[in-house]
Structures are given as structure tokens and as C-alpha cells.
């Protein structure tokens, strides 16, 4: 396995996880990569590692370039195991290497691996390190998406090693965006933001401010493709948009149905949004995975969620989705919920509580129907949509 040169004497030495299909409940239908980078200068620097089961792949790529024992510095931009899993093996092979990370990173590595005898250098935002011809600059990005998260900027090469920022769970044949189908790269970047970074939009805005002013002509994240050329500005502009939590004139309808009654309501809701000139994304949870559905929330202003009541509770598919959604905490939404029930309502009240917890605008009361909706009831729920968008 060979390394790939990213810039002069800077190499991708990571691993591709072709078969990954689930990442903490996030459906990863195109696999993923764990990107690590080797910088050859007067000092030899390894930036991040890979998930432990793929350590052999990392080592093979490193050995195609260097004697691993000669690594001087291991930079840990993030402690999560898909980034740090190979560090113990690297430290066995390079026992004299110094680990560079921030205070939270040091604590996390010791807690994970017990590396009390490792040589740590703790950095803060703005610190710089000379490694010979090059200077490295560090930008801490706490809670994007762990307390220890940070980025490493290679000043002389205008290269940002951005950790989880700008990442994609995607295993491409070629690691550069310029050599890939860009629609897929940016689709996966959007899905990654929605499923990993959505709760941390404020931290993403701070991170963008933290790298503002840096001259960047390449962004090399820890997952997926490397951005270069015009794609650098494009992905940074998209992050600014996604982090703003500002929705467009778009509605997302999410629902499931038991005997078709909730679906009748969902169809009426869809028809009225369209009648109001609003773009609609229509998602039945029987056929749509929740990690795909949440992507639609990034640029939507209106949300409508429908569920029948089952045993006084939300239908399990919808309950799973709203639990996942609540954890990701989308903001600035106008929402209402709807659904059918038999002898006792319950689901829509529970969904409404989640809307309120998220601080969404909920001026329209939950809309419940006993058994099967008739045409008058369809007119009533259309009126709910008109009130929501007024």
C-alpha cells in the first residue's frame, strides 16, 4: 500500500473503510476514510492516525516512506477512536515520538489508552511549531465535535488539516475532490454536517472565524476527500450557510402510517405547502433512513411530523426519528405535528413537547384525527399549513 503525495513532502497515509455502513446510527452507504498525513521535514510529523482495525494499512503506507521509529511528532487533532485508534501501536514503534495535542486531548488519550509515559506537548490556539522549513499553527475548535477537537495549519503550504471539519463519510477511489464526482462529495459533506456537527453550529461558526485570515488553498479533513482549488471556497461557504441555521422557503414532511390515515393527512399537508409555493421534501420513514432525512432539515424553514398513536405512544419508527432529531438539535424551525389515533390520542402531544424543548415556533396546535380523515378534516389540516406559513 502506497502513500499519496498531497503537497511536496506531505503525504496521505490513511485507510479506506470500504465496507462501513453504519457510524453510530448514521447510514454510511459509501463507506468512509480515516485520513492521516505524514509531513517530511527536518522533523517527521504524523498528523492523526486511523481506526484500530485498519492500523496495518496505516503502517504499510508509512513504511513505504520512512522508518516509523524515526517519527518525531504525532499530532492528535481528535481523540475519538476512528482518529486515535492506531496511536498505541505507533507509539510502540516510535517510542521517542512526542505527542502534540491540547489539554483535553492529552486527558482523553490517557483516559483511552493509559499513555501516562508518553511525552506530551500541550498546545493552545495560536501556538506555532517549527519543524524545519515549515511552521505548523494550531487552532483549537472545542465541541466541533468533541472538547479536544482542533485543526493543524501548515503555514508554508497553505494547507489546513481540518480534522472532522469539512469531512465526509465517503470512501472514494481518488482522495481529491477534483478527481471525483463533485455532486457526491458535497452531498456527503452535507450529510456529514447534518449527522455529526448539527448540534454544534455555534462552534462551527467560531471555527470558521478561527481560520478566517489564514491563506488556505487546500483543506485535508480526517474523512473523505481533500478540497483544493475553487472547492475550498465552496465548502467554506456551505459551512457558513449550514452553521447559520437559516432555513429557506422549504418544508420537510416526515411521517409513518399504520392503516393509511396519517398518510392521508401527510398528503394534504404536502398539497397545501405546494399550493403555498413552498418546496416540499416528503419522507416516509418506512422507506427513508433517519440519517438521510435529517439532511433535509439543514436548509428547511418548515417542519411537519406525523405519527399514528400506538399503545398511547409515538409509532416506533417516528419515535426513533424524533429522538435522533432531538439529539442533533436543529434550530429556527416553524413546526407542527399531526396524526391519527384509535380510542386514545397520545403521539402528537409527545412530539409537540420535543418541538418545545428545541425552542421551535409552534403557533399551530397539534392536529389529531380519530380513525379515518374525511374531506372536511383534510380541509382543516390544510388550514393548519396556511397558518404555519402566514
Q: What is the pLDDT of residue 312?
A: 92
Indicate if the pLDDT at residue 350 is higher than 90: yes
Rounded to the nearest angstrom, the gap between the alpha carbon of residue 73 and the centroid of all alpha carbons in its chain is 28
Cell of 335: 413546526
Tell me which residues are annotated as active site: 24, 78, 80, 82, 145, 164, 192, 223
DSSP string for residues in 48-67 = ----GGGHHHHHHHHHTTS-
pTM: 0.96
Helix (H, G, I), strand (E, B) or coil at 71: coil
| Cβ 73 vs Cβ 43: under 8 Å | yes
Rounded distance between C-alpha atoms, residue 146 and residue 291, angstroms? 20
Indicate if the pLDDT at residue 344 is higher than 90: no
Residues 150-195 have pLDDT tens digits of 999 999 999 999 999 999 999 999 999 999 999 999 999 999 999 9
Residues of the chain with CATH 3.60.15.10: 4-243
Q: How many CB atoms lie within 10 A of CB 78?
A: 24
Rounded distance between C-alpha atoms, residue 198 and residue 276, angstroms? 28
Rounded distance between C-alpha atoms, residue 28 and residue 382, angstroms? 36
User: Yes or no: is domain 4-243 CATH 1.10.357.10?
Assistant: no
Indicate if the pLDDT at residue 345 is higher than 90: no
Rounded distance between C-alpha atoms, residue 2 and residue 37, angstroms? 13
Indicate if the pLDDT at residue 202 is higher than 90: yes
Rounded distance between C-alpha atoms, residue 191 and residue 170, angstroms? 10
| Cβ 223 vs Cβ 32: under 8 Å | yes
Residues of the chain with CATH 3.40.50.360: 251-389
Class of domain 251-389: alpha beta
Amino acid at each position: 500500500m502506497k502513500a499519496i503525495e498531497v503537497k511536496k513532502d506531505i503525504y496521505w497515509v490513511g485507510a479506506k473503510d470500504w465496507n462501513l455502513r453504519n457510524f453510530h446510527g448514521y447510514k454510511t452507504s459509501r463507506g468512509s476514510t480515516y485520513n492521516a498525513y505524514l509531513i517530511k521535514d527536518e522533523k517527521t510529523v504524523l498528523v492523526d492516525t486511523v481506526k484500530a482495525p485498519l492500523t496495518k494499512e496505516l503502517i504499510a503506507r508509512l513504511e513505504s516512506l520512512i522508518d516509523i521509529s524515526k517519527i518525531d511528532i504525532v499530532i492528535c487533532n481528535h481523540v475519538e477512536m476512528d482518529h486515535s485508534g492506531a496511536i498505541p501501536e505507533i507509539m510502540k514503534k516510535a517510542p521517542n515520538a512526542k505527542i502534540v495535542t491540547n489539554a483535553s486531548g492529552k486527558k482523553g488519550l490517557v483516559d483511552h489508552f493509559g499513555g501516562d509515559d508518553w511525552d506530551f506537548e500541550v498546545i493552545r490556539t495560536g501556538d506555532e511549531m517549527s519543524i524545519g522549513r515549515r511552521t505548523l499553527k494550531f487552532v483549537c475548535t472545542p465541541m466541533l465535535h468533541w472538547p479536544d477537537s482542533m485543526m493543524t495549519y501548515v503555514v508554508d503550504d497553505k494547507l489546513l488539516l481540518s480534522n472532522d471539519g469539512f469531512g465526509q463519510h465517503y470512501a472514494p477511489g481518488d482522495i481529491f475532490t477534483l478527481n471525483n464526482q463533485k455532486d457526491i462529495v458535497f452531498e456527503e459533506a452535507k450529510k456529514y454536517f447534518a449527522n455529526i456537527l448539527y448540534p454544534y453550529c455555534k462552534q462551527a461558526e467560531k471555527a470558521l472565524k478561527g481560520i478566517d485570515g489564514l491563506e488556505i488553498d487546500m483543506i485535508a479533513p480526517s474523512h473523505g476527500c481533500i478540497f483544493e482549488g475553487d472547492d475550498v471556497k465552496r465548502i467554506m461557504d456551505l459551512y457558513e450557510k449550514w452553521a447559520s441555521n437559516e432555513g429557506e422557503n422549504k418544508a420537510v414532511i416526515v411521517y409513518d402510517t399504520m392503516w393509511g390515515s396519517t398518510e392521508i393527512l401527510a398528503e394534504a399537508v404536502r398539497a397545501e405547502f405546494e399550493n403555498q409555493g413552498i418546496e416540499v421534501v416528503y419522507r416516509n420513514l418506512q422507506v427513508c433512513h433517519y440519517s438521510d432525512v435529517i439532511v433535509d432539515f439543514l436548509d428547511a424553514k418548515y417542519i411537519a411530523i406525523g405519527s399514528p398513536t400506538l399503545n398511547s405512544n409515538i409509532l416506533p419508527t417516528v419515535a426513533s426519528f424524533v429522538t435522533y432529531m432531538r439529539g442533533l438539535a436543529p434550530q429556527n424551525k416553524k413546526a407542527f405535528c399531526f396524526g391519527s389515533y384509535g380510542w386514545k390520542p397520545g403521539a402528537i402531544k409527545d412530539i409537540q413537547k420535543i418541538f418545545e424543548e428545541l425552542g421551535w415556533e409552534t403557533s399551530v396546535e397539534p392536529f389529531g384525527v380519530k380513525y379515518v380523515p374525511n374531506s372536511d378534516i383534510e380541509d382543516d389540516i390544510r388550514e393548519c399549513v396556511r397558518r404555519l406559513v402566514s
